[in-house]
Amino acid sequence: GNSVTQMEGPVTLSEEAFLTINCTYTATGYPSLFWYVQYPGEGLQLLLKATKADDKGSNKGFEATYRKETTSFHLEKGSVQVSDSAVYFCALYSGAGSYQLTFGKGTKLSVIP
Amino acid sequence: ETGVTQSPTHLIKTRGQQVTLRCSSQSGHNTVSWYQQALGQGPQFIFQYYREEENGRGNFPPRFSGLQFPNYSSELNVNALELDDSALYLCASSLGQGGGGSYNEQFFGPGTRLTVL
């Protein structure tokens, strides 16, 4: 079945530090890949997505590249801000008769001034 | 454009009781998906409703059931509550059911926090 594995948290960084959150996946077919962000007390928001191999998704300074050969979709940001503190979820959508998103367990990021 | 809304925000029930959670989809969306997010975990797919019919189901027992109404709003019902049902329940709406290879973006509501004592 489909699954997503992302690095365990929590992750604590100083403001302006570089961020990497690792994500690998197992899926049938050719999934679309996503990063969602959940701020305290809020629902999930789509941060970025990539729908085919070698695509790079980007938004708000965050980037992730769909690597089919390593089945990975690592999230990166060059300089984090305090406002980036949230829980980040990697997810996939495999299509082909599946209607659901499959999520990783989430990584909590705290950015300190 | 109104986003996805859910009610109530918080709910406390006791073991064995029944609960109904509600979701209003984003304007123009005809598909609603429900997810359970246990503390410290990622959301788990419960089921999806498309045009008032269940369209796909995750690994949840039959005591989890749902409805979708003609205005595309939806309810999640859970019977015979167990302690492990304590979680954040998320509703997501989309335009179209997906499943055909193309992804129809799911927009999430803020969730209902259910506590079972």
Chain B touched by A96 (CB under 8 Å): yes
> Which residue in A has a C-alpha nearest to residue B98's C-alpha?
A99
- What part of A 29-58 touches B (C-beta under 8 Å)? 32, 36, 41-46, 49, 51
pLDDT on residue A98: 66
Q: What is the spatial distance between Cα A89 and Cα A97, in angstroms, rounded to a whole number?
A: 23
Cross-chain residue pair A99–B101, CB shorter than 8 Å? no
| Segment-wise mean pLDDT, segments of 10 residues, chain B, 117 residues | 89 98 92 93 93 90 96 95 97 74 79 97
pLDDT of residue B98: 58
Instruction: Please give the pLDDT value at position B105.
Output: 82
For A25-77, the DSSP string reads: EE-SS--EEEEEEE-TTS-EEEEEEE-STT-EEEETTEEEE-BTTTTB--EEE
A95 touches chain B (CB under 8 A): yes
Do A13 and A109 touch, CB atoms closer than 8 A?
Answer: yes
- According to the model, what pLDDT value does residue A94 have? 81
Contact A99 B111 (CB under 8 A): no
- Which of B16, B20, B5, B23 has the alpha carbon at shortest distance from B114? B20
Predicted local confidence at residue B37, as pLDDT = 95
The whole-angstrom separation of Cα A88 and Cα A61 is: 14
Please give the structure tokens belonging to residue B108.
């999430």
Tell me what pLDDT residue B50 has. 87
Asked if the Cβ–Cβ distance from A44 to B108 is below 8 Å, we say: yes
Residue B66: CB partners within 8 Å, gap ≥ 6?
B34, B46, B47, B49, B54, B74, B75, B76, B77
**Parts of chain A with a pLDDT under 50:** none
Note whether A32 and B103 are within 8 A (CB): yes
Residues of A in contact with B108 (CB under 8 A): 36, 43-45
d(CA B74, CA B64): 13
Contact residues on chain A for B99, CB-CB shorter than 8 A: 95-99
